[in-house]
Amino acid sequence: MAKRLAGRRPAAVAWPFEQAVPRIAHVSRASRTVRAARAGRTARAALPVICAAAAGMFWQTTAQAQEGYRPLVPIGSLRIGLATTYSSYSARYRPEPGGMPGDRQPVSLGAEFSGPVGTSLFPSLADYEAAVAQATGSEHRLRLGTVAATAEKNAVRLLLSADVGVLDWLSVGVMVPLVRNETEFSMHFAADSALANAGFGAGAPSAVSGFLSSFGGAIGAYRTFRTSACAADPSGAACRDATMHLSGAEAFHDALSAMYESPVAPLENSPAGLAMQARLAVLAEAFQAAGVGGVPGAVPLADSPMDLEALQRLVTDPNLGVAGTHPLAPWMSLWALGDIEIRADARLWQTGDANAGGGGYAEAGAGVIARLPTGVQDDPANFLDAGSGDGQTDIEVRGWANGQWGARLGAWAEVRYGAQLPGAAERRVFDPYYWIAPAAVQRQLSWNPGDYQAVAVSPWFRLADDLTVLAGYRYFRKGRDSFSLASADDSEGNEPPAGGAAVDLSALVLGSEATSSRIHLGGVFRRAPASSGSPLWPAEVRVVYSRVVGGTGIMPKTGTFEVRLRFLTRLWRNEPPAA
């Protein structure tokens, strides 16, 4: 249950085509109303591009040769691009707990978050379980109720780009992304009074402190009795029994003191609550037999199961161990700047003429991209947050090839390698299968994300002079991340800072080495002005849907819908010099 990516994500994938799970996966309203609203958001996000594209289709134009992909810009021209992408996922691939490969089937985010509410959702309450087990003398598993949830993570990206044809074989450009993320979250919490064994708090703090004080005073008086009994007869039954009762009382007091440091307590009528009252009664009887009074009549416990408001307090109250900045409720970010790309592409080889109608041609080239750390990482204390970027620099190189056979059939292929340079990150260093990590493990880290590789192939077919359909497959692989503490903590995380807890940095590595297989299908509409003197700009409209169909490591099963519009205009004329 509630097992999640740590830190947001152990290892985000910086390559924009494959985003690994950024933090907690979201929870959605799985209803027709929500799906309709989601479709409306998608349509509104794509509306500017679609409207501009529709306007372009009405231009009086003639067709030009067109392939499914065209990375280069004609010399002296400026290509302006505007794209909207909408992506979402409600399941992810992941290895099994313990690092086993798993069955390669995606796991629903809602299913990960649903089930009994205990330490699998709030691992910070593990000390509470241990304290209750010590106080009762038997194993204890916290159960506050049950949760049934649905979850989905959505992201809208506006991509603004400009590319210039510097030479006939060289183009340079920039792409600026704007990102808005949303978490759809729907949760039904049942207090489950028949099975719940704990509730929120144990009454007024004064009652708890008064109980511990009175019980501690009685233990002190009994300690004096035990000293006298053992002094009179060190090997006698009175000394032996007094020693046993005193040791049990001190251990019971210590366990209760540790339990009361937690925001929850056993219910009065739960097995753990009844066992505590029975143990207190036994000690009170032994103390009375020794002439020692002052033992309280009852252990302060919770009188009712937890409700939804109290459950949310466990997440957001800064004094209760989690200190989340957002409750378990729907969340949407503001628009934020993503990681800006600066790029260049060069043609290295060409044969044939791409603009010769019906003729064949082939070309190959290479490109380089620098992805800048302008994006914002997610807030480690907001379990529904997703950042706009990775906040570290990538250097990517690629090789590409494009070709056409006959009048209508062609193919595009590319290979990419990206080096993700080290950067800084703030994460909660915890088992990635827990969604809600405690605040005590939040650290400033030095992060060295794994490099990535990708290979893609996309055949295309020209249905008409101005319309091309395309399909394709892309395989993506990302290497393992590594982390070190950026503070003065011990390099292995064993010496916690003040107020913190020891951490195991290897927890962030699990699942960071990941792969995905993605297929896509779409079309390209491209038109050119009817004459060289036309004031209208050439335009290209691309509509593509892609879907992740397989993955390893921690990889979301993402579906993405993209609408892209590109205009071409002349910046300067490339005319031969006069004779």
- Render pLDDT for 309-349 as a digit per residue (tens, 0 to 9): 999 999 999 999 999 999 999 999 999 999 999 999 999 99
Which pLDDT score is estimated for 487?
65
For the cut 60, the answer to whether the pLDDT of residue 39 exceeds it is: no
pLDDT at 49: 44
pLDDT of res. 543: 96
The residues, ordered by sequence, that sit 6+ positions from 542 with a Cβ below 8 Å of its Cβ are 522, 523, 524, 525, 562, 563, 564, 565, 566
Residue 187 confidence (pLDDT) above 70: yes
What pLDDT does residue 488 have?
Answer: 52
Residue 25 has pLDDT above 70, yes or no: no
Mean pLDDT of the 91-102 span: 70
Task: Specify the range with the lowest mean pLDDT, choosing from 5-14, 234-243, 358-367, 480-489.
Answer: 5-14
Residue 412: what pLDDT? 94
Q: Tell me: pLDDT of 366 over 80.
A: yes
pLDDT at 531 over 70: no
pTM: 0.81
Question: For the chain, how far is it from start to end, CA to CA, in angstroms?
Answer: 78
**Other CB atoms within 10 Å distance of the CB of residue 559:** 15
Res 95: pLDDT: 79
The confidence score (pLDDT) of residue 281 equals 96
Label residues 537-551 b or e (16+ Cβ within 10 Å = b): bbbbbbbbebebebb
pLDDT of residue 486: 85
Question: How much is the average pLDDT of 457-486?
Answer: 94
Select the highest-mean-pLDDT range: 245-249, 432-436, 487-491, 531-535.
245-249
Q: Is the pLDDT reported for residue 450 higher than 80?
A: yes
Q: What is the pLDDT of residue 8?
A: 40
Evaluate whether 174 touches 160 at the Cβ level (below 8 Å).
Answer: no
Closest CA to 90 of 114, 122, 62: 114
For range 186-203, the mean pLDDT = 86
Q: Residue 257: its pLDDT value, please?
A: 96
The confidence band for 364, taking pLDDT boundaries of 50, 70 and 90, is: very high
Architecture of the domain defined by 32-118+154-193+332-570: Beta Barrel (2.40)
φ/ψ (deg, to 5) at 529: -55, 150
Specify which residues 557 forms β-bridges with. none
Q: Which two tokens stand for residue 500?
A: 């913190």
Instruction: Put residue 189 in one of left, alpha, beta given phi > 0 → left and psi -120 to 50 → alpha.
Output: beta
Q: Rounded mean pLDDT of 529-535?
A: 50
